[in-house]
Structure 1
């Protein structure tokens, strides 16, 4: 039976092959089009990733990031998301989850903060089943890349924070194909009452490095955190069902298995309510439970 590490490497290789095929299709498409869809890359013009950032009812989203996600003049391909950390983390790390000044959308206690394991048997790749009314979404959490994020996600799951919550946002534009979940209020502005810092891949860039704002491809099968700007992660996360172009300012903390991708494909195929490219999914999707396998 393959180990978790072997399954992870196989999944990465498969995602890389898918990315290469999609990149070739994108090159052909560019030859016949003048610009990307107005609801694709263009949705993040002006304020960078403002439209994608979680809107919590204040101005932080509009100030979240500089830099526009646009095609370069040379027409070169967007870089791929880094495959992993250049240097491994220590065996344990400490995390911080300060209050964000907002009432939790659902009662929740912050996670523990000290001695969070990053490696070792059962701690590198953690299997989780996210059951929804549309089918199971299997997740592999990458504790060695983003341990504080995984620690928070598992803590909230153990408190049943996600149970009975809706996935409130589906985006179906060519360059942004995600399902966003994790807000008990269903409004896109809710959270657990605390926040925490970005991890991988943001922390792979030096402070103020312009490359940290340049778009990369978050490949199909990526699990990442939504935010309202740097270091404002809470409970909301997004599931990438199609290669998506974003600056590396969204913490990646896992991947989605084939069963989960099949569930996401079904939800995406039904589209967005009212036929839009961004909004509530037409196929209402509710998380019934999130449990470790």
Structure 2
């Protein structure tokens, strides 16, 4: 029979073994916990990287890929219907003075996408119209610029055209649903490029948009200055366009020329983000813009 001393020693050794086993189990749990955390972090980082590198921007350059492939048929959106009736060009309820003073401040942090000089700012005519031709790959698109509607906008557009700013640029955006417009005038073809300067809106509540209207694209009001963000990007309305009167109308497109825009629209847009809003399936290039 074991003595009391022997029983105490046996109990002590048993306790030491239990403590050692408990410590080993705790160590393994910590190791498994660390491994699980690392795996989780790797999965999260991978997911973030994948999301960050998705190309959902509706203004991605259609020529950005060095080896473009035919987009899936269900990704190409075409207009269900294009109205044929021209919209009436808006008229100001009150005529502007014959001469306007314009401002084209430099946009801080937004260098010009292509070298350009701001136009003159004093004694800008607010009377009459100017004819111009946009030479596209699909043919000439004839437009009429209306100084009485938007003298500062016409002044800028004519200046940029004479500087060759629009030459060899891509119309980066085509919409076929909701609104039906072709957007051009950004040499970077990203939807964020401009001439390095901006100018204010020339709008009024009575403005309506529809087939044949030529208007300026913008990014809303500049939060720092509360001024307009017009630059060089413009859009041609070839069909429906239920828009608020926040976009400067500065001219119109000839009826016959709109048929060329219709063909571009019928070829479809490669949707990126919203359905029916993306880059034209068939790239649209402006060769030049000449002013009469």
Structure 1 residue 259, shift from structure 2 partner? 2.6
Structure 1 residue 283, shift from structure 2 partner? 1.4
What's 2:211 paired with? 220
What's 2:245 paired with? 248
Instruction: Give the whole-Å Cα distance in 1 for the aligned partners of 2:126 and 2:255.
Output: 25
What stretches of structure 2 of length at least 5 have no aligned partner?
Answer: 1-57, 61-86, 222-227
User: Could you say what secondary structure the match of 1:246 adopts?
Assistant: coil
Encode CA deviations 1:66-103: one digit per residue, 9 max, x unaligned: xxxxxxxxxxxxxx988311111111111000011111
1:193 aligned onto 2:192 = no
Instruction: Give the whole-Å Cα distance in 1 for the aligned partners of 2:250 and 2:144.
Output: 9
| Runs of 4+ residues deviating >3 angstroms | none
**Residues 176 and 239 of structure 1: is their aligned pair in 2 closer, same or farther, counting only changes over 3 Å?**
same
Give the number of the structure whose alpha-carbon radius of gyration is greater: 2
Are the aligned partners of 2:171 and 2:286 in contact in 1 as well (CA < 8 Å)? yes
1:166 aligned onto 2:161 = no
Are the aligned partners of 2:89 and 2:251 in contact in 1 as well (CA < 8 Å)? no
Encode CA deviations 1:266-292: one digit per residue, 9 max, x unaligned: 100000126951100011100001001
1:157 aligned onto 2:161 = yes
Match for 2:262 among 244, 248, 265? 265
What's 2:232 paired with? 235
Instruction: Give the whole-Å Cα distance in 2 for the aligned partners of 1:92 and 1:274.
Output: 43
**Residues 54 and 217 of structure 1: is their aligned pair in 2 closer, same or farther, counting only changes over 3 Å?**
farther
Structure 1 residue 129, shift from structure 2 partner? 0.4
TM-score, structure 1 normalization: 0.65
Matched ranges for 1:122-161 at <5 A = 124-161=128-165
User: Could you say what secondary structure the match of 1:280 adopts?
Assistant: strand
What's 2:276 paired with? 277
Match for 1:181 among 174, 180, 184? 184
TM-score, structure 2 normalization: 0.65
Structure 1 residue 156, shift from structure 2 partner? 0.4
For the aligned residues, what is the CA RMSD?
A: 2.5
Structure 1 residue 260, shift from structure 2 partner? 1.9
User: Could you say what secondary structure the match of 1:197 adopts?
Assistant: coil
User: Could you say what secondary structure the match of 2:159 adopts?
Assistant: helix
User: Could you say what secondary structure the match of 2:154 adopts?
Assistant: helix
Aligned residue pairs total 202
